[in-house]
Amino acid sequence: RATEPLLVEEHSPPLLTREYLPEIDIFILHYFEALFQRLRPGSWLVFDNFQDAPEGSPLPRILHAAIKQLPPHITVAVLSRSDPPPNMARFIANRTLKHIGWNQLAFTADEFTSFLDFSGSTVAAPDAVRLHFLTKGWIAGVVLWLLHYSGEEIPDTVPAQWTPENIFDYFASEILEKTSAEIRTFLLQTAFLPNMTVEMAEELTGMPAAEILESLYRKNFFVEKHRLRLVSYQYHPLFRRFLSLQAVRFFDAEALQSLRCRAAKILEMHDLAEEAFRLYSQVDAFGPMQTLILSRAQVLIDQGRYTVLSAWIDTLPEEQTRDHPWLLVWKSVAMVPYDPKESVRLATEAYRIFAKNNDIAGQVLSWSTVVDILTMMRSGFAQLDGWIEEGGRLGDLLSDDDESIGLSSRFAAAMLMALLLRNQGHPEMEKWQTRCEKLFFRCRDQQIAVALIKNLFWSYYWLGQLHKALNMESGLRNLRDSGTLPPFGQIIMGALLALAGVMRGDHPECHRLVRESLDLAEKTGIHVFDFLIVSFSVYSALGQGELQTVQPLLTKLEGALSNYAIWDKGQYHYLIAWYAMQDGDLQNAEEHLKIALSLEKACGNPLTIALCKILRSQLLLELGRPAKA
């Protein structure tokens, strides 16, 4: 957000959505590539207060990626009170990065004297020597002292175990004692705002904040002023830390809790959710924390900030989360990229509570979450049976009106895919196809619309309605080339077009579209559909008898296998068996087909089980066992 005024183009760099998470490093590279292309020449990208990054934070890795591809017209500056992280050593060694340490920043005696002269200070020469010794040439400490210097003698000694923080607190306490009661109260109250507009400061203190903040800024009272879309102010980090500690001593416990909660509410109202949550958590304000989580959960998910949402929910007491279905379902959604099985467990528990409370919207969201995960994992479709039954009941209760179209569209897309994977002969299959068709033309959520068109295309293909599938080609192509779809949607459209090439028997077109889709997947780091996309080329090549091209594709297919996708593994062995049959290696074909059939039965998809049995019958005939065939 802070870089937006510097961008050459209107579009911001991409958001970290779920499909990027498996290849996060590639996303980081492309993010900064896009950002640097859009920043005006001469721009500076500043990482301030880098030392505040928590242990285990990905920020050092992100910074490394930024510096690695830094163009010559952009400068990156990292401000930190700690040493550079280890992964910066190479940049420092090859002079890409210049480390300016404490010794280089501290004023020498001559520089110190020049600064005093420039600032118009009346400090006598002997006092200036003592002040330089006391501050070790640290300019912030010098400014603090001079701010309220009234000619008193400067001490000869420094606090025990001298650090910049110690000396800052020492000087700041001297200054605070000399300010008026009104300004002191203003400083102590606003210390709980990490940054503030005039409006925010006035809401918190009830004082004329514009006048006070501008006066503090003009006096160099460790107040920074930022002129972006709105003018905002921010205390120097050390000064704010000092004021926060003083506030704990100044206000009683009840007043302090009230102050923190009011500050948090103001931050929340001004779209500073993380800062608000941090303040709420300091006083165990679990009620407001829960409200903030529920109001921001969807935004965090849309931004790909799954770990933030998960950490927020984990901050609440267990007794508060275990019986609250919305907290459970949002925790489930946050866990999908990292622990799908736990995500299913949480969403199932949420569904149970929603059903007990007769909460239709909650049931639909938790139901859709479970079904989406089970279809995504492709490890056991038999688990869908109970959810299909529940879905039939929910579908009759769910309205397709404009208010709930996003919810009903997601539900319908998931229901159609669940039926395809588990029960293609279901009596309501046509009903769900028709419902998805109608919803697609009304749905305004791009991600859900892509799911609808993808699942509809698959249903036409698997149910033998090839004319319907092929009639969608021009629409798929227009959507892919519209420039409105994110890379994830473009890859899906490209994959469906490749499958259309298989249907039409246009094998060169299929191979071309597969290459394009894989190139985009490699460029963006989105490899969710790699196995599926490569398999289309394998099917096409085997259908044409192009055995010389199959083996490299099978190697690529093996590399795209995931640990948990049993269905993919079954398909992999099925394709090896088909290839071996065409190559005349019937024994190898029989071995792989046996594995394929076992895996597909374990997964429970009737169509692929049938395909394995058909191929086995053909194999048995070639092996001279017609009775078994």
The residues with which 76 forms a beta bridge, in sequence order, are 45
Average pLDDT over residues 553-576: 93
Confidence band (pLDDT; 50, 70, 90) for 4? very low
pLDDT digits (tens, 9 = 90+) for 571-616: 999 999 999 999 999 999 999 999 999 999 999 999 999 999 999 9
Residue 372 sits in the same domain as residue 409: no
Of 337, 355, 379, which residue sits at a domain end? 379
Whether residue 464 lies inside any domain: the answer is yes
Confidence band (pLDDT; 50, 70, 90) for 2? very low
> How many other C-beta atoms can be found within 10 angstroms of the C-beta atom of residue 30?
20
Residue written as tokens 């002129």?
227
Read off φ and ψ for residue 401, nearest 5 degrees: -70, 170
Residue 25 sits in the same domain as residue 93: yes
**What is the DSSP track for 38-59?**
HBPTT-EEEE-SGGGSPTT-SH
CA atoms within 13 A on the CB side of 536: 30
pLDDT at 164: 59
Average pLDDT over residues 617-622: 94
Residue 66 sits in the same domain as residue 138: no
Q: Based on the number of CB atoms within 10 Å of its own CB, is 240 exposed (0-12), middle (13-18) or buried (19 or more)?
A: buried
Instruction: Give the range with max mean pLDDT: 81-90, 177-186, 206-215, 393-402.
Output: 206-215
pLDDT at 457: 96
Residue 91 sits in the same domain as residue 141: no
Decide if 541 contacts 504 (C-beta within 8 A).
no
Mean pLDDT of the chain: 88
Structural domain count of the chain: 4
Of 454, 471, 488, which residue sits at a domain end? 471
pLDDT digits (tens, 9 = 90+) for 390-434: 999 999 888 888 778 989 999 999 999 999 999 999 999 999 999
Residue 49 sits in the same domain as residue 12: yes
Confidence band (pLDDT; 50, 70, 90) for 551? very high
H or E stretch including 226? strand 223-227
Residue 371 sits in the same domain as residue 392: no
Give me the percent of the chain exceeding a pLDDT of 70.
Answer: 93
Of 89, 11, 84, 79, which is closest to residue 49 (Cα–Cα)? 79
> How many other C-beta atoms can be found within 10 angstroms of the C-beta atom of residue 50?
18
Q: Is the pLDDT reported for residue 157 higher than 60?
A: no
The residues with which 234 forms a beta bridge, in sequence order, are 224
Residue 128 sits in the same domain as residue 80: no
Instruction: Give the range with max mean pLDDT: 6-20, 58-72, 171-185, 378-392.
Output: 378-392
pLDDT at 58: 82
pLDDT at 424: 92
Q: Is the pLDDT reported for residue 279 higher than 80?
A: yes
- Within 8 A by CB and 6+ apart from 487, the residues are 14, 19, 520, 523, 524, 526
pLDDT at 597: 97
Residue 466 sits in the same domain as residue 403: yes
Choose between 183 and 400: higher pLDDT.
183
pLDDT at 158: 52
Listed range (129-138, 195-204, 438-447, 519-528) with the worst mean pLDDT? 129-138
Whether residue 192 lies inside any domain: the answer is no
Of 419, 436, 471, which residue sits at a domain end? 471
Whether residue 501 lies inside any domain: the answer is no
Residue 154 sits in the same domain as residue 117: yes
Whether residue 526 lies inside any domain: the answer is no
Residue 26 sits in the same domain as residue 59: yes
Confidence band (pLDDT; 50, 70, 90) for 153? low
Confidence band (pLDDT; 50, 70, 90) for 326? very high
First to last CA, the chain: 65
Rg for the chain (alpha carbons), in Å? 32
Whether residue 358 lies inside any domain: the answer is yes
pLDDT digits (tens, 9 = 90+) for 430-469: 999 999 999 998 988 888 999 999 999 999 999 999 999 9
Give me the percent of the chain exceeding a pLDDT of 90.
Answer: 57
pTM of the model: 0.80
β-pairing verdict for 75-78 and 44-47: parallel
Residue 327 sits in the same domain as residue 364: yes
Residue 91 sits in the same domain as residue 109: no
Whether residue 96 lies inside any domain: the answer is yes
pLDDT digits (tens, 9 = 90+) for 460-493: 999 999 999 999 998 899 888 888 888 889 999 9
Confidence band (pLDDT; 50, 70, 90) for 372? very high
Range of the domain at 143: 105-177
Q: Based on the number of CB atoms within 10 Å of its own CB, is 359 exposed (0-12), middle (13-18) or buried (19 or more)?
A: middle
Choose between 25 and 389: higher pLDDT.
389
* Rounded Cα gap, residues 589 and 567, in angstroms: 18
Whether residue 135 lies inside any domain: the answer is yes
Whether residue 122 lies inside any domain: the answer is yes
Average pLDDT over residues 610-628: 93
Average pLDDT over residues 299-315: 91
